[in-house]
């Protein structure tokens, strides 16, 4: 797939984006969910080897292809790795799946009700390497815990500053200012975020376009103006701690939003499964998330 084909798939593909980007801090939790207890490895290299085996099993499953999974977000080590002797981004593209790379390095301590991204001093080098490997875009996450306009404005400003750096490198950024779904001020935080995102999108130079990865809003349909904004290639939703049934039920109420789920995609998969059991469980999850992404219901 060339850039034009990947852009078209992101803009109008009838599917969802798989988030396979658990990084160092969240890897033990991801492995535990997969049935591998902490202590089953000695050192980071073995741990990352196990998570790479898990991701390779997912990516090479017959259930995982561009018919329903239109994109996949990778952790940096996964992007740099290989499956059967081929770079992972090339394996994904051969299966019709557009590759993205998670670029953020974690979160700062909370201030003004939000957690900004930590500095990324080596970002230019990572972007150049990602582009050379055939990656289409990036994903960068920050978190909103309270409906503090100053904090949310700072989150959006930082996200768009990074997005401009990504665009300059020839990649498409997925901007992810996650609203904590457990926040007591979730609905108001959603509304403030919408205001700030529209202002930032209106101010984008030239004909640049970005993608947005957002928590499913407390009020269904709230993000319709973002879905329709000419500078937005696609709006995708994170599961944010919802179970898969709950995440899919809420997502289906939001026109134009597709899934970009991680835990909700992987929650039924176990290391001990036979290949047949694994493929059946993954296929069932993919079917459920695909339906919520493409078959919408009244709010």
* Residues catalogued as catalytic: 176, 213
Q: 109 Cβ partners below 8 Å, 6+ apart?
A: 115
What is the C-alpha separation between 90 and 61, in angstroms, rounded?
Answer: 16
Burial class, 129, CB count within 10 angstroms (exposed 0-12 / middle 13-18 / buried 19+): middle
Q: 42 Cβ partners below 8 Å, 6+ apart?
A: none
What is the C-alpha separation between 260 and 293, in angstroms, rounded?
Answer: 9
Give me the half-sphere count of Cα atoms (radius 13 Å) on the Cβ side of residue 128.
4
What is the C-alpha separation between 111 and 4, in angstroms, rounded?
Answer: 40
- The secondary structure of 207-273 as a DSSP string is T--EEEEEEPPSSTTTTHHHHT-TTEEEEEEE-TT--HHHHHHHHTTSTTEEE--SHHHHTT--TTS
Contacts 24+ apart (CB under 8 A), 83-88: 83/56, 83/59, 84/60, 87/133, 87/134, 88/55, 88/59
What is the C-alpha separation between 298 and 252, in angstroms, rounded?
Answer: 8
SS3 state of residue 275: helix
């Amino acid at each position: 797939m060339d850039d034009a084909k990947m852009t078209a798939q992101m803009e109008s593909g009838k599917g969802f984006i798989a988030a396979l980007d658990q990084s160092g801090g969240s890897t033990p939790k991801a492995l535990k969910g997969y049935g591998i207890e902490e202590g089953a490895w000695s050192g980071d290299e073995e741990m990352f080897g196990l998570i790479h085996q898990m991701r390779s099993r997912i990516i090479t499953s017959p259930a995982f292809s561009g018919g329903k999974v239109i994109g996949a977000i990778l952790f940096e080590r996964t992007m740099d790795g290989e499956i059967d002797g081929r770079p992972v981004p090339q394996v994904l593209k051969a299966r019709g799946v557009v590759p993205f790379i998670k670029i953020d390095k974690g979160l700062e301590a909370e201030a003004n009700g939000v957690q900004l991204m930590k500095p990324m001093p080596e970002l230019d080098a990572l972007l150049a390497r990602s582009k050379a490997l055939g990656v289409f875009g990036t994903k960068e996450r920050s978190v909103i815990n309270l409906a503090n306009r100053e904090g949310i404005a700072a989150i959006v400003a930082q996200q768009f500053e990074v997005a401009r750096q990504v665009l300059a490198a020839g990649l498409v950024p997925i901007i992810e200012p996650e609203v904590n779904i457990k926040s007591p001020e979730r609905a108001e935080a959603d509304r403030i975020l919408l205001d700030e995102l529209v202002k930032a999108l209106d101010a984008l130079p030239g004909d640049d376009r970005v993608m947005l990865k957002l928590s499913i809003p407390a009020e269904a349909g709230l993000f319709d103006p973002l879905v329709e904004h000419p500078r937005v290639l696609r709006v995708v939703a994170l599961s944010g701690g919802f179970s898969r049934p709950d995440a899919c039920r809420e997502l289906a109420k939001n026109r134009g939003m597709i899934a970009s789920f991680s835990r909700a995609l992987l929650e039924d998969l176990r290391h001990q499964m036979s290949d047949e059991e694994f493929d059946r469980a993954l296929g069932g999850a993919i079917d459920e998330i695909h339906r919520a992404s493409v078959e919408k219901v009244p709010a």
